[in-house]
Structure 1
């Protein structure tokens, strides 16, 4: 298992918590807790070694396409494809946008 920590500038604030996916489902789980501030901090636990560059690129792409909320995110990845990872992350962002 690899542990990765990333930080990205946040461009909006939201409130609440959100969960997408199910840990141990053969996919991934994303937990998000909104915070005040200007940073999104991401803690990733993944079964895919040497994947930090892939995660960095995914969040850079998300930041170019949408506004990133401030908060703490935990990702438990069990080999999800980049497409599934993006869907789960967007799901938690959408859920806290409506909180």
Structure 2
């Protein structure tokens, strides 16, 4: 297992809904926990992955996600069992969209 941590500063969108979990850890999949947190405007992402050695790919996917959503005061935890970058992006977007839907 490998643990990767990312922090993105100065986001513009805050989520106020209760924490959400999307996805299921299983064969080739992952789960995402997303929750509001007082992080002085930052978004933190912690990844626990069984696919060791793919830090550069994770970093690119996380950077793209942050550019798309610009989250602030948000903590994201990912438990991964080898999901593809496309699945990672899909699950992250589902988590944010679920929280935005709950806030309506």
Q: TM-score, normalised by structure 1?
A: 0.88
Partner residue of 2:25? 23
* Count of aligned residue pairs for this structure pair: 99
Instruction: Establish whether residue 8 from structure 1 lines up as the match of residue 8 from structure 2.
Output: yes
Partner residue of 2:94? 91
Q: TM-score, normalised by structure 2?
A: 0.84
User: Per-residue CA shift, 1:3-60, capped at 9, x if unaligned?
Assistant: 1111112221111211110123431010111124311111100011112211111121
Structure 2, unmatched stretches of 5+, are: none
Mapping for residues 1-99 of structure 1, pairs under 5 Å: 1-9=1-9, 10-15=11-16, 16-36=18-38, 37-99=40-102
User: Per-residue CA shift, 1:41-94, capped at 9, x if unaligned?
Assistant: 111000111122111111211233333243111101111000000000001111
Asked whether the 8 Å contact 1:11–1:70 carries over to 2, the reply is: no
Structure 1, unmatched stretches of 5+, are: none
Report the Cα distance in structure 2 between the residues aligned to 1:32 and 1:66, rounded to whole angstroms: 13
